[in-house]
Amino acid sequence: MIKSLKAQHSLLSDAREQIEIIEHGANGEFALIPFQQKLETSNLYPLKPLQIGIFQINIGKMCNQTCRHCHVDAGPDRKEIMTKETMIQCLEVLRQHPQLQTVDLTGGAPEMNPNFRWFAEEIKKLDRHVIVRCNLTIIRANKKYYDLPQFYKQHHIEVVSSLPFYTQNRTDRQRGDGVFADSIKALQMLNEAGFGMEGTGLILNLVYNPAGAFLPPSQATLESEYKEALMVKYGIHFNNLFAITNLPISRYLDYLITTNNYEAYMEKLVNAYNPTAAANVMCRNTISIGWDGHLYDCDFNQMLELKVTSDAKHIKDFKLDQLQARNIIVGQHCYGCTAGAGSSCGGAVA
Ligand code: SF4
Ligand code: SF4
C-alpha cells in the first residue's frame, strides 16, 4: 500500500501564467529561438496534421497518486471527470470515423472514472485498438480494482504503465513512498494474466521519464537495462520501454523553477532540436479530448488550455476534415517533443 500521498499540486494553476513563463522564463527576460522559427528552418511551419488516426481521451484528472512531475496535476482530490454523456459523444464520433483506429485512454488514473469499464467495452465493440495508461498502483489500491488485469485481458486492451526506474529509490522519489513495491506487485499480476508474456498477444509497455532536469538516455539501452533488472530481481516480463522527455509544464515546470533549472533545461532542449523528431511529433496523427469534451492538439496543449484552431472545438461538433486542415498550435514547450530522439506517448519518434 502507498504510505504517503502528500497533496502536491502545481503552484502554477493558471495556464496563461505557465505559458508566459514557458515563453519568457520566470523573470520575463529569458529569450530562446522561438520554436516556430526552428520549424520554419525544417520546412514544417505551420505544423500540419498527417493522417489523424488516434483519439487520446483524458477521462478525468482524479488519480490515486500525486507524482512530482505530473503534467496533468492529477491527484485524489481532483474533481474533473468525463461524464457518460461526453463518452457517448466520443463513441458517436468513433462510430462515424472508422479511420480513428486507436483509442488511448488516459487520466489521472482512468480506472477511477466510474464509467471507465463501460466506456472501454463500448469502444471495443466498435472494433478499435484500446490503450490504457494504467499507473499500476491503482490495481493494488482497492479490492474493486484487483481484477483489472482480467478485465484488460478479456477485452484485449494494451497496457502502458509508468515505471520511472527499475529501483525503489528513484521511483518512490518521483511517485511517492511505496509506489515501487506496489508497482512491482501489479506488474506480476499483469504477467500472471499473460501481459508482456511471449505468445499471448497481450501487450504491456513501460514508460521511463527522467527524475531530474536532464534528457532521457537511449531508449534501446534503457530497455535492455530494465528488462534485465526487472527479470533478475522480480521475474517480470514486458514488451517495450518508452523513454519520454519531461515537458516544461505544470508540476515539472514548478520543479524546474524552484530548483533554478528552468533556463538550463530549456537550453538543453533547444540545443538538442532534431528535425526528424519534429516531423514525427504525435500531434500530427492524434487528437486529444479533454475530460469536458474539448479538443486539443495533444495532452500538453490540453493542460495549457490551448484548444484546437479549427471552428469545431468540442467533441459534440467534431469535424474531421476541419481538424485535418488545421494548423497545430506550437510554443516553446514543444521543444520537449523534438529533443534528441524525440518524445511522444509512444516514446522516441526519431
Ligand atoms: S500516476 Fe500519472 S496521472 Fe497520476 S499523478 Fe502520477 S503522473 Fe499524474
Ligand atoms: S507539445 Fe503537443 S503540439 Fe507541441 S510538438 Fe508536442 S505534441 Fe505537438
In this predicted structure, the answer to whether residue 218 has a pLDDT above a threshold of 50 is yes
Measured distance CA(155)–CA(125) in Å, rounded: 9
Confidence of residue 48 (pLDDT cuts 50, 70, 90): very high
Measured distance CA(312)–CA(295) in Å, rounded: 8
Residues 253/68, Cβ–Cβ less than 8 Å: no
Pocket of ligand 1 (CB under 6 A): 63, 65-67, 70, 72, 74, 107-109, 135
pLDDT of residue 319: 97
Measured distance CA(290)–CA(86) in Å, rounded: 10
Nearest to 298 by CA among 93, 104, 41: 104
2 within ligand 2 shell (Cβ under 6 A)? no
At 111-124, the pLDDT tens digits run: 999 999 999 999 99
pLDDT of residue 3: 36
Q: Whose CA is nearest to atom 4 of ligand 2?
A: 334
pLDDT of residue 10: 60
User: Around 313, how many Cα atoms within 13 Å sit in the side-chain half-sphere?
Assistant: 8
DSSP letter for each residue of 206-273: EEE--SSSS----HHHHHHHHHHHHHHHH----S-EEE-PPPSSHHHHHHHHHTT-HHHHHHHHHHTB
303 within ligand 2 shell (Cβ under 6 A)? no
Nearest to 168 by CA among 233, 242, 258, 240: 233
In this predicted structure, the answer to whether residue 5 has a pLDDT above a threshold of 80 is no
Q: Considering just the CA atoms, what is the radius of gyration of the chain in Å? A: 19
Residue 166 corresponds to which amino acid?
Y
Instruction: Using most ligand atoms within 8 A of CB, pick from 281, 307, 349 the residue to mutate for ligand 2.
Output: 281
Confidence of residue 9 (pLDDT cuts 50, 70, 90): low
Measured distance CA(117)–CA(169) in Å, rounded: 33
Measured distance CA(96)–CA(43) in Å, rounded: 33
| Residue that wins the pLDDT comparison between 89 and 14 | 89
Atom of ligand 2 nearest to the CA of 284: 8
In this predicted structure, the answer to whether residue 28 has a pLDDT above a threshold of 60 is yes
Q: Whose CA is nearest to atom 2 of ligand 2?
A: 298
What is the enclosing helix (H) or strand (E) of 106? strand 102-106
pTM, to two decimals? 0.95
Residues 147/154, Cβ–Cβ less than 8 Å: no
Mean pLDDT computed over every residue of the chain: 94
Cα 115 to chain centroid distance, Å, stands at: 20
- All three cell numbers of 156: 484485449
Residues 131/157, Cβ–Cβ less than 8 Å: yes
What is the average pLDDT across 151-155? 98
In this predicted structure, the answer to whether residue 8 has a pLDDT above a threshold of 80 is no
Confidence of residue 4 (pLDDT cuts 50, 70, 90): very low
In this predicted structure, the answer to whether residue 98 has a pLDDT above a threshold of 60 is yes
What is the average pLDDT across 143-149? 97
At 159-183, the pLDDT tens digits run: 999 999 999 999 999 999 999 999 9
Atom of ligand 2 nearest to the CA of 286: 7
Q: Whose CA is nearest to atom 6 of ligand 1?
A: 67
In this predicted structure, the answer to whether residue 145 has a pLDDT above a threshold of 50 is yes
What is the average pLDDT across 102-111? 98
